[in-house]
Structure 1
Amino acid sequence: MGKSRKIVIVGCGEVGSTFAFTVLLKGLVNELILIDKNRKKALGDVLDLNHGLMLTQPVNIKAGGFEDCKDADIIVIAAGAAQMPGETRIDLMNRNVAIFREIIGEINKHNQSGILLVATNPVDILTQVALKLSGWKRGHVIGSGTLLDTSRFRYLIGDTLKVDPRSVHGLIIGEHGDSEVPLWSSLTVAGINVASNDPGSQFYLSPEQKDRIFHNTKNAAYQIIENKGATNYAIALALARICESILEDQKSILPVSCYLENYLGVSDVCLGVPAIIGKDGIEQIVSLPLSDTERELFQRSAGKLKELLTSIGF
């Protein structure tokens, strides 16, 4: 693996613990630190993970404190409050902002040069909160963005067309949430543009199929939570993919939550857009050719999030 690599995970809930397991399976690091306010949970996860080390690449895994953020390449924040019955989204955001103030204050005491990767929802809002609270370089604060949505989108398209989702090339951009935007105009399968309305096209998608695919993409989390209480596997894979691109300096183009300035008419907000991800985090944001409708929906998504940010003082 070469030089030492270190990931710190803050929050050992469903997402944090599954991500830790994914990092172990992929052999991404030499050192993996788990931090949780419930230290017993972190210790239990560490013990369980260490019991598999005979079967994986060597990794130093331990339960730690914020002092262990020192020299970390990537610090992943998966901690946050869950929404309570009757609680508004604004109330939830305010609680998570308070949690982030504490977490980021502690991180900043020990590390201001790594990459901060935010997984906690609402991820775009909290990515911007993390950026402003930390004072880190813009490219060093990344949200998981719409990478998970894009993976769901491609899976559903592949399932509909009966092709490998890795042969589907299309994006979801904007908010990781209800106002996300599917980019049908640039969707391709094996280089064939799917925007064609020709029913004779090999990879034709009817308007009804498109509506169903997008509906199931946007509402996937609700479906999963209704069935098992939380989402964890696919988001863990998405976080691991981002970390892999950073640690390996792969320059992969991934739709992550980035701070935008004059991007398709949008400024001063973090949203999911494609970006080149390498050792310096977000190294370049990729401009996209959008249809007029897609651009309007993207700008509307940005407007919605800016209103929410204003409501919580950001």
Structure 2
Amino acid sequence: MIERGKGTRVVIVGTGFVGSSYSYALLNQGVVDEMVLIDLNKAKAEGDAMDLNHGMPFGSPMKIWAGDYSDCKDADLVVITAGANQGPGETRLDLIEKNTKIFKGIVSDIMASGFDGIFIVATNPVDILSYATWKFSRLPMERVIGSGTILDTARFRFLLGQYFDVDSRNVHAYIMGEHGDTELPVWSHADIGGRPILSYLEDHNTNRSMKDLDDIFINVRDAAYHIIERKGATYYAIAMGLVRLTRAILRNENSVLTVSTLLQGQYNLDDIYIGVPAIVNRNGIREVLELKLDDAEQKKLEHSANVLKQAMAPVFKA
């Protein structure tokens, strides 16, 4: 699977804010050999392809074109960013019904091409739409991956690094659960250079407090609302997160990323796509990492899963 001997091809479905930002980041980081842009607005996809190609002398050599679903046949990855956007005052879960309908058509057209690669889903609500993609495509669960809480985790690490005045790349901490209002911080496994973050609160010569850490998490959880209020949408950071996930897959990195994947008994949860740490490589999800959560964290994760299941029940009736 995925060994075609032709170089790597990524197809991006949806050239809105996220899709175009992802394609631009992909060009800058030189991760793939071929990039195909598909959009309902063909002229927009063509314009983006032209614009990106004109930057080729400053970027990485690759072939970029506006295509159609037939181009998915030879793709290693199809990344779906298409769908209705979250508007001001709207939660991600408000988008379920309309985006599930959109996805049924998109995934059917992709699979009709003979596609046999890996799906990455970025459209919200990402956990439910990842589940929908898995159901509609009938691919093995390891080959349908949602962006999950990779962005939330990045926001978490950035704000913790800022608070402790440490490079965020040296902060190891996860956000798990729904990519949305019921997500949770995993304080029991958060550390800086191996030292548990909660142990910093024991230092008597600092003014750090649990309240500060709780405020950091609230800022992480509500970040999208604040950004949407100011500029209408979020797209730069998630685009970079998608490139990180793309690289982990295509370069067979066996990287640990907090993606949305199907749980089958892990964390006492079943038949649900939700954000958890997982090892990602050329075949998709190699393994879900089952961290030992404390009782409060486990309850919050179960609550998050229950909210998702209740929200998706009307759409995925037995």
Q: Same fold by TM-score, threshold 0.5 exceeded?
A: yes
Q: Which residue of 1 aligns with 2:263?
A: 260
TM-score when normalising by structure 2: 0.94
In the TM superposition, residue 3 of structure 1 has moved relative to its aligned partner by 5.1
Q: What is the SS of the residue equivalent to 2:113?
A: coil
Which residue of 219, 241, 248 maps to 1:245? 248
CA contact (8 A) 1:172 1:182 kept: yes
- Residues 1:114 and 2:117 are matched in the alignment: yes
Q: What is the SS of the residue equivalent to 1:264?
A: helix
**Alignment size in residue pairs:** 313
Distance 1:142 1:295 in 2: 22
Q: Which residue of 1 aligns with 2:308?
A: 305
Q: Which residue of 2 aligns with 1:223?
A: 226
In the TM superposition, residue 87 of structure 1 has moved relative to its aligned partner by 8.1
Question: Aligned ranges for residues 117-136 of structure 1 at < 5 Å?
Answer: 117-136=120-139
Which is further off, 80-89 or 152-161?
80-89
Distance 1:209 1:217 in 2: 13
CA contact (8 A) 1:159 1:165 kept: yes
* 1:219-251 Cα deviation digits (max 9, x unpaired): 111111111111011000100000000000000
Q: Which residue of 2 aligns with 1:162?
A: 165
TM-score when normalising by structure 1: 0.95
* 1:53-82 Cα deviation digits (max 9, x unpaired): 111221110000000101101000000023
Change (3 A) 1:66 1:204: farther
Q: What is the SS of the residue equivalent to 1:306?
A: helix
Change (3 A) 1:295 1:111: same
Distance 1:307 1:208 in 2: 31
Change (3 A) 1:201 1:295: farther
Question: Aligned ranges for residues 173-184 of structure 1 at < 5 Å?
Answer: 173-184=176-187
Q: Which residue of 2 aligns with 1:235?
A: 238
Q: Which residue of 2 aligns with 1:40?
A: 43
Identity, % of aligned pairs? 46
Q: Match for 1:221: what amino acid?
A: A
In the TM superposition, residue 289 of structure 1 has moved relative to its aligned partner by 1.2
> Which consecutive residues of structure 1, in runs of 5 or more, have no partner in the other structure?
none
Which residue of 47, 51, 54 maps to 2:54? 51
Question: Aligned ranges for residues 200-215 of structure 1 at < 5 Å?
Answer: 200=203, 205-215=208-218
Distance 2:54 2:260 in 1: 35
Change (3 A) 1:312 1:158: same
Distance 2:155 2:51 in 1: 29
Which residue of 75, 78, 83 maps to 2:81? 78
> Which consecutive residues of structure 2, in runs of 5 or more, have no partner in the other structure?
none
Q: Which residue of 2 aligns with 1:28?
A: 31
Q: What is the SS of the residue equivalent to 1:145?
A: coil
In the TM superposition, residue 111 of structure 1 has moved relative to its aligned partner by 3.3
Q: What is the SS of the residue equivalent to 1:80?
A: coil
Distance 1:52 1:202 in 2: 51
In the TM superposition, residue 92 of structure 1 has moved relative to its aligned partner by 3.0
Q: What is the SS of the residue equivalent to 1:268?
A: strand
Q: Match for 2:186: what amino acid?
A: L
RMSD: 1.9
CA contact (8 A) 2:74 2:115 kept: no
